[in-house]
Amino acid sequence: MFKRIAFLLLLAGGVSRADAATGDTIVAVWKHNTRGAFTMSFDDSMETHVSVAMPAIIQRGLVGTWFINPGLARHRKHSKVWGIDGPKNGQEYANHTWEHKGAKDYQEADYQIGASARYIWALRGPDASKLLAFASGGGTTWTISDLEREEIKSRYHSITRSSELSARTDLGIDGDKLIAKARESIDEGRWVAIHFHGIGGEWLSIDSEGFIRLLDYLRDNKDKIWSAGWSAAHQYAKERDHARIDLLERSDARIRIRLTTGLSPELYAEPLTLITQVPAGWSVVAVKQNGQSKPFHARNGALQYEVVPDRGEIELQPDR
Protein backbone atom coordinates (compact mmCIF):
# COMPACT_ATOMS: atom_id res chain seq x y z
CA MET A 1 0.00 0.00 0.00
CA PHE A 2 2.76 2.43 0.95
CA LYS A 3 4.56 1.75 -2.30
CA ARG A 4 1.41 2.46 -4.28
CA ILE A 5 0.75 5.72 -2.49
CA ALA A 6 4.36 6.81 -2.82
CA PHE A 7 4.27 6.08 -6.55
CA LEU A 8 1.03 7.98 -6.90
CA LEU A 9 2.19 11.02 -4.96
CA LEU A 10 5.34 11.12 -7.01
CA LEU A 11 3.30 11.29 -10.22
CA ALA A 12 0.69 13.64 -8.83
CA GLY A 13 3.30 15.94 -7.33
CA GLY A 14 1.41 15.84 -4.04
CA VAL A 15 2.57 16.06 -0.47
CA SER A 16 4.43 13.15 1.05
CA ARG A 17 2.50 10.79 3.31
CA ALA A 18 4.26 12.04 6.44
CA ASP A 19 3.08 15.62 5.84
CA ALA A 20 -0.48 14.66 4.90
CA ALA A 21 -3.24 16.26 6.96
CA THR A 22 -6.86 15.23 7.37
CA GLY A 23 -8.81 16.22 4.30
CA ASP A 24 -5.81 16.35 1.95
CA THR A 25 -7.03 14.82 -1.30
CA ILE A 26 -5.43 13.76 -4.55
CA VAL A 27 -6.81 12.34 -7.79
CA ALA A 28 -5.31 8.94 -8.63
CA VAL A 29 -3.46 8.96 -11.94
CA TRP A 30 -5.66 6.09 -13.17
CA LYS A 31 -8.91 4.59 -11.97
CA HIS A 32 -8.76 2.45 -8.81
CA ASN A 33 -5.23 3.79 -8.30
CA THR A 34 -3.86 1.43 -10.95
CA ARG A 35 -0.56 2.25 -12.62
CA GLY A 36 -1.73 2.32 -16.23
CA ALA A 37 -4.78 2.09 -18.45
CA PHE A 38 -5.19 -0.40 -21.30
CA THR A 39 -7.82 -0.25 -24.03
CA MET A 40 -8.75 -3.04 -26.43
CA SER A 41 -10.84 -1.99 -29.45
CA PHE A 42 -12.70 -4.47 -31.64
CA ASP A 43 -13.78 -3.30 -35.08
CA ASP A 44 -16.65 -4.21 -37.42
CA SER A 45 -19.27 -6.11 -35.31
CA MET A 46 -17.58 -9.39 -36.25
CA GLU A 47 -18.93 -12.91 -35.67
CA THR A 48 -15.83 -13.91 -33.67
CA HIS A 49 -16.45 -10.95 -31.36
CA VAL A 50 -19.82 -12.42 -30.48
CA SER A 51 -18.66 -16.04 -30.29
CA VAL A 52 -15.17 -15.65 -28.74
CA ALA A 53 -13.99 -12.18 -27.71
CA MET A 54 -16.92 -10.72 -25.79
CA PRO A 55 -17.71 -13.82 -23.71
CA ALA A 56 -14.01 -14.22 -22.78
CA ILE A 57 -13.74 -10.54 -21.82
CA ILE A 58 -16.93 -10.53 -19.74
CA GLN A 59 -15.94 -13.77 -18.02
CA ARG A 60 -12.72 -12.12 -16.78
CA GLY A 61 -14.38 -8.88 -15.67
CA LEU A 62 -12.60 -6.85 -18.38
CA VAL A 63 -13.84 -4.17 -20.77
CA GLY A 64 -13.67 -4.02 -24.56
CA THR A 65 -14.48 -1.05 -26.77
CA TRP A 66 -16.63 -2.36 -29.60
CA PHE A 67 -16.53 -0.33 -32.81
CA ILE A 68 -19.85 -1.58 -34.11
CA ASN A 69 -21.77 -1.23 -37.38
CA PRO A 70 -25.39 -1.55 -36.16
CA GLY A 71 -26.83 -1.30 -39.70
CA LEU A 72 -25.12 -4.47 -40.96
CA ALA A 73 -26.96 -7.81 -41.11
CA ARG A 74 -24.21 -9.59 -39.13
CA HIS A 75 -24.75 -7.09 -36.30
CA ARG A 76 -28.56 -7.35 -36.33
CA LYS A 77 -28.28 -11.14 -36.28
CA HIS A 78 -26.84 -10.89 -32.76
CA SER A 79 -29.08 -8.13 -31.45
CA LYS A 80 -29.33 -9.76 -27.99
CA VAL A 81 -25.56 -9.88 -27.50
CA TRP A 82 -25.01 -6.33 -28.79
CA GLY A 83 -28.18 -4.82 -27.36
CA ILE A 84 -28.35 -6.52 -23.95
CA ASP A 85 -25.37 -8.68 -22.92
CA GLY A 86 -22.66 -6.11 -23.73
CA PRO A 87 -24.23 -3.06 -22.04
CA LYS A 88 -25.34 -5.13 -19.03
CA ASN A 89 -21.74 -6.22 -18.49
CA GLY A 90 -20.15 -2.79 -18.70
CA GLN A 91 -18.85 -3.02 -22.26
CA GLU A 92 -18.26 0.24 -24.15
CA TYR A 93 -19.56 0.87 -27.66
CA ALA A 94 -17.95 3.20 -30.15
CA ASN A 95 -19.02 4.75 -33.44
CA HIS A 96 -17.69 2.91 -36.49
CA THR A 97 -20.58 4.26 -38.62
CA TRP A 98 -23.90 2.60 -39.39
CA GLU A 99 -22.82 0.35 -42.27
CA HIS A 100 -19.04 0.78 -42.74
CA LYS A 101 -19.40 2.13 -46.27
CA GLY A 102 -18.36 5.77 -46.17
CA ALA A 103 -20.67 8.38 -47.72
CA LYS A 104 -21.18 9.98 -51.12
CA ASP A 105 -22.65 13.24 -49.80
CA TYR A 106 -23.24 15.28 -46.66
CA GLN A 107 -26.67 13.83 -45.96
CA GLU A 108 -25.45 10.26 -46.16
CA ALA A 109 -22.45 11.06 -43.95
CA ASP A 110 -24.78 12.59 -41.37
CA TYR A 111 -26.86 9.40 -41.42
CA GLN A 112 -23.92 6.97 -41.29
CA ILE A 113 -22.42 8.73 -38.26
CA GLY A 114 -25.64 9.95 -36.63
CA ALA A 115 -27.67 6.73 -36.73
CA SER A 116 -24.80 4.84 -35.16
CA ALA A 117 -24.43 7.46 -32.39
CA ARG A 118 -28.18 7.35 -31.64
CA TYR A 119 -28.09 3.54 -31.47
CA ILE A 120 -25.27 3.64 -28.91
CA TRP A 121 -26.72 6.50 -26.85
CA ALA A 122 -30.01 4.59 -26.53
CA LEU A 123 -28.09 1.71 -24.87
CA ARG A 124 -26.34 3.97 -22.35
CA GLY A 125 -27.97 5.09 -19.11
CA PRO A 126 -29.46 8.60 -18.84
CA ASP A 127 -26.51 9.83 -16.75
CA ALA A 128 -23.84 8.36 -19.03
CA SER A 129 -21.48 10.46 -21.12
CA LYS A 130 -22.47 11.15 -24.73
CA LEU A 131 -18.83 11.12 -25.78
CA LEU A 132 -18.15 8.35 -28.33
CA ALA A 133 -14.85 7.04 -29.60
CA PHE A 134 -14.93 7.19 -33.41
CA ALA A 135 -13.21 5.47 -36.34
CA SER A 136 -14.54 6.01 -39.86
CA GLY A 137 -13.70 2.53 -41.18
CA GLY A 138 -10.70 1.27 -43.16
CA GLY A 139 -11.14 1.20 -46.93
CA THR A 140 -14.18 3.51 -46.97
CA THR A 141 -14.57 6.56 -49.21
CA TRP A 142 -16.07 9.83 -47.98
CA THR A 143 -16.76 12.26 -50.81
CA ILE A 144 -17.34 15.24 -48.55
CA SER A 145 -14.80 17.79 -47.37
CA ASP A 146 -12.70 17.19 -44.28
CA LEU A 147 -14.34 20.23 -42.74
CA GLU A 148 -17.83 18.79 -43.29
CA ARG A 149 -16.81 15.44 -41.85
CA GLU A 150 -15.32 17.10 -38.76
CA GLU A 151 -18.48 19.16 -38.33
CA ILE A 152 -20.67 16.03 -38.42
CA LYS A 153 -18.33 14.14 -36.09
CA SER A 154 -18.44 16.92 -33.56
CA ARG A 155 -22.25 17.10 -33.67
CA TYR A 156 -22.29 13.45 -32.54
CA HIS A 157 -19.64 14.03 -29.85
CA SER A 158 -16.99 11.90 -31.56
CA ILE A 159 -13.43 11.58 -30.33
CA THR A 160 -11.02 10.11 -32.87
CA ARG A 161 -9.66 6.71 -31.93
CA SER A 162 -5.94 6.05 -32.10
CA SER A 163 -4.19 2.72 -31.71
CA GLU A 164 -0.59 1.69 -31.07
CA LEU A 165 -0.92 -1.81 -32.45
CA SER A 166 -3.10 -3.77 -34.84
CA ALA A 167 -3.34 -7.23 -33.28
CA ARG A 168 -2.83 -9.43 -36.37
CA THR A 169 -0.99 -12.72 -36.64
CA ASP A 170 0.07 -11.86 -40.20
CA LEU A 171 1.95 -8.83 -38.81
CA GLY A 172 3.84 -11.09 -36.40
CA ILE A 173 1.76 -10.24 -33.33
CA ASP A 174 1.39 -13.05 -30.81
CA GLY A 175 0.53 -13.48 -27.13
CA ASP A 176 4.01 -12.39 -25.97
CA LYS A 177 3.84 -9.16 -27.97
CA LEU A 178 0.33 -8.39 -26.71
CA ILE A 179 1.37 -8.94 -23.09
CA ALA A 180 4.49 -6.79 -23.62
CA LYS A 181 2.20 -3.99 -24.81
CA ALA A 182 -0.01 -4.32 -21.73
CA ARG A 183 3.10 -4.29 -19.53
CA GLU A 184 4.11 -0.95 -21.07
CA SER A 185 1.04 0.65 -19.51
CA ILE A 186 2.32 -0.45 -16.07
CA ASP A 187 5.99 0.35 -16.62
CA GLU A 188 5.36 3.76 -18.20
CA GLY A 189 2.30 4.68 -16.12
CA ARG A 190 0.26 5.57 -19.17
CA TRP A 191 -2.72 4.75 -21.34
CA VAL A 192 -2.01 2.17 -24.07
CA ALA A 193 -4.63 1.41 -26.74
CA ILE A 194 -4.55 -1.43 -29.29
CA HIS A 195 -7.15 -2.77 -31.73
CA PHE A 196 -8.40 -6.09 -33.03
CA HIS A 197 -10.38 -7.45 -35.95
CA GLY A 198 -11.03 -11.21 -36.11
CA ILE A 199 -10.21 -13.49 -33.20
CA GLY A 200 -9.09 -16.95 -34.38
CA GLY A 201 -10.77 -16.40 -37.75
CA GLU A 202 -12.42 -13.91 -40.10
CA TRP A 203 -10.37 -10.97 -41.42
CA LEU A 204 -7.10 -9.42 -40.17
CA SER A 205 -7.26 -11.91 -37.32
CA ILE A 206 -5.14 -12.82 -34.31
CA ASP A 207 -4.64 -16.36 -33.14
CA SER A 208 -7.10 -16.98 -30.29
CA GLU A 209 -4.57 -18.65 -27.94
CA GLY A 210 -2.45 -15.46 -27.86
CA PHE A 211 -5.55 -13.35 -27.37
CA ILE A 212 -6.70 -15.42 -24.38
CA ARG A 213 -3.22 -15.21 -22.84
CA LEU A 214 -3.48 -11.41 -22.97
CA LEU A 215 -6.89 -11.52 -21.26
CA ASP A 216 -5.56 -13.79 -18.52
CA TYR A 217 -2.66 -11.38 -17.97
CA LEU A 218 -5.05 -8.43 -17.67
CA ARG A 219 -7.28 -10.36 -15.28
CA ASP A 220 -4.29 -11.33 -13.10
CA ASN A 221 -3.00 -7.74 -13.00
CA LYS A 222 -6.19 -5.82 -12.29
CA ASP A 223 -4.57 -4.05 -9.36
CA LYS A 224 -1.99 -2.56 -11.74
CA ILE A 225 -3.86 -2.14 -15.05
CA TRP A 226 -7.22 -0.50 -15.56
CA SER A 227 -9.03 -2.32 -18.39
CA ALA A 228 -10.69 0.77 -19.77
CA GLY A 229 -13.12 1.66 -22.51
CA TRP A 230 -11.74 4.20 -24.98
CA SER A 231 -14.15 6.98 -24.08
CA ALA A 232 -13.85 6.15 -20.37
CA ALA A 233 -10.04 6.41 -20.38
CA HIS A 234 -10.17 9.63 -22.40
CA GLN A 235 -12.71 11.11 -19.98
CA TYR A 236 -10.72 10.03 -16.93
CA ALA A 237 -7.47 11.59 -18.18
CA LYS A 238 -9.11 14.86 -19.14
CA GLU A 239 -11.11 15.14 -15.91
CA ARG A 240 -7.99 14.31 -13.88
CA ASP A 241 -5.95 16.94 -15.70
CA HIS A 242 -8.64 19.58 -15.16
CA ALA A 243 -9.55 18.57 -11.61
CA ARG A 244 -9.65 21.19 -8.92
CA ILE A 245 -10.21 20.08 -5.34
CA ASP A 246 -11.46 22.51 -2.70
CA LEU A 247 -11.49 21.44 0.92
CA LEU A 248 -14.63 22.96 2.47
CA GLU A 249 -14.53 21.42 5.94
CA ARG A 250 -12.33 19.06 7.92
CA SER A 251 -13.00 17.72 11.37
CA ASP A 252 -12.99 14.41 13.20
CA ALA A 253 -16.68 14.07 12.38
CA ARG A 254 -16.85 15.16 8.78
CA ILE A 255 -14.86 16.12 5.68
CA ARG A 256 -16.43 18.09 2.84
CA ILE A 257 -14.82 18.49 -0.59
CA ARG A 258 -15.71 20.12 -3.87
CA LEU A 259 -14.38 18.48 -7.06
CA THR A 260 -14.75 20.51 -10.24
CA THR A 261 -13.28 20.33 -13.75
CA GLY A 262 -15.06 23.01 -15.76
CA LEU A 263 -15.81 20.35 -18.41
CA SER A 264 -19.28 19.64 -19.83
CA PRO A 265 -21.12 17.22 -17.48
CA GLU A 266 -23.00 15.85 -20.50
CA LEU A 267 -19.71 14.62 -21.99
CA TYR A 268 -17.53 14.04 -18.93
CA ALA A 269 -19.19 11.61 -16.53
CA GLU A 270 -16.47 9.11 -15.67
CA PRO A 271 -15.91 8.62 -11.91
CA LEU A 272 -12.48 9.74 -10.71
CA THR A 273 -10.64 7.84 -7.99
CA LEU A 274 -9.83 10.15 -5.09
CA ILE A 275 -7.62 9.45 -2.10
CA THR A 276 -8.39 11.51 0.98
CA GLN A 277 -6.53 11.47 4.29
CA VAL A 278 -9.07 10.72 7.02
CA PRO A 279 -8.80 10.59 10.85
CA ALA A 280 -7.07 7.42 12.09
CA GLY A 281 -10.20 6.09 13.77
CA TRP A 282 -12.27 6.00 10.59
CA SER A 283 -12.87 2.55 9.11
CA VAL A 284 -16.02 2.31 7.00
CA VAL A 285 -16.74 5.73 5.53
CA ALA A 286 -19.96 6.88 3.90
CA VAL A 287 -19.25 8.94 0.77
CA LYS A 288 -22.25 11.14 0.05
CA GLN A 289 -22.90 13.13 -3.08
CA ASN A 290 -26.07 14.37 -4.70
CA GLY A 291 -28.35 12.57 -2.23
CA GLN A 292 -26.56 9.22 -2.72
CA SER A 293 -24.38 7.47 -0.16
CA LYS A 294 -21.85 4.67 -0.73
CA PRO A 295 -19.57 2.95 1.81
CA PHE A 296 -15.79 2.70 1.27
CA HIS A 297 -13.07 1.27 3.55
CA ALA A 298 -10.28 3.47 4.89
CA ARG A 299 -6.83 1.88 5.22
CA ASN A 300 -4.00 3.40 7.27
CA GLY A 301 -5.78 6.73 7.40
CA ALA A 302 -6.32 6.93 3.64
CA LEU A 303 -9.69 6.58 1.95
CA GLN A 304 -9.80 5.61 -1.72
CA TYR A 305 -13.15 6.13 -3.46
CA GLU A 306 -14.84 7.00 -6.74
CA VAL A 307 -16.89 10.11 -7.46
CA VAL A 308 -18.00 11.90 -10.61
CA PRO A 309 -16.72 15.49 -10.72
CA ASP A 310 -19.03 18.48 -11.11
CA ARG A 311 -21.95 16.66 -9.44
CA GLY A 312 -22.12 18.63 -6.20
CA GLU A 313 -20.37 18.62 -2.85
CA ILE A 314 -18.77 15.41 -1.57
CA GLU A 315 -19.22 14.60 2.09
CA LEU A 316 -17.26 11.94 3.99
CA GLN A 317 -18.46 10.68 7.34
CA PRO A 318 -17.48 7.67 9.44
CA ASP A 319 -20.22 5.08 9.20
CA ARG A 320 -20.81 4.22 12.84
Residues that bind Zn ion (CB under 5 A): 43-44, 137
Using alpha carbons only, give the angle 11, 229, 272 rounded to the nearest 5 degrees. Answer: 45
DSSP SS3 for 227: strand
- Which residue, 53 or 303, has its beta carbon nearer to Zn ion? 53
191 Cβ contact partners less than 8 Å away, ≥ 6 residues apart: 30, 36, 37, 38, 39, 185, 228, 233, 237
- Which residue, 137 or 175, has its beta carbon nearer to Zn ion? 137
Q: How far is the CB of 136 from Zn ion (least distance, A)?
A: 8
- Which residue, 173 or 308, has its beta carbon nearer to Zn ion? 173
170 backbone dihedrals φ, ψ, rounded to 5°: -70, -10
b vs e for 137-169, b when ≥16 Cβ sit within 10 Å of the residue's Cβ?
beeeebebeeeebeebbeebbbbebebebbbbb
Q: How far is the CB of 138 from Zn ion (least distance, A)?
A: 5
Question: Residue 213 and residue 235: Cα distance in Å, rounded?
Answer: 28
- Which residue, 164 or 188, has its beta carbon nearer to Zn ion? 164
Q: How far is the CB of 116 from Zn ion (least distance, A)?
A: 12
Burial (CB count within 10 angstroms: exposed 0-12, middle 13-18, buried 19+), residue 255: buried
Question: Residue 41 and residue 95: Cα distance in Å, rounded?
Answer: 11
Q: How far is the CB of 44 from Zn ion (least distance, A)?
A: 4
* H or E element in which residue 178 lies: helix 175-187
* Amino acid, single-letter form, for residue 22: T
- Which residue, 35 or 161, has its beta carbon nearer to Zn ion? 161
Q: How far is the CB of 110 from Zn ion (least distance, A)?
A: 19
- Which residue, 100 or 224, has its beta carbon nearer to Zn ion? 100
Residue of 204, 14, 230, 200 whose CA lies nearest to 131: 230
Q: How far is the CB of 157 from Zn ion (least distance, A)?
A: 20
Residue nearest to Zn ion (CB): 43
Question: Residue 129 and residue 240: Cα distance in Å, rounded?
Answer: 16
DSSP string covering 191-207: EEEEEES-BSSSTT-B-
The alpha carbon of 231 is separated from its chain's Cα centroid by a whole number of angstroms, namely 5
Q: How far is the CB of 133 from Zn ion (least distance, A)?
A: 13
- Which residue, 36 or 137, has its beta carbon nearer to Zn ion? 137
Q: How far is the CB of 177 from Zn ion (least distance, A)?
A: 22
- Which residue, 44 or 270, has its beta carbon nearer to Zn ion? 44
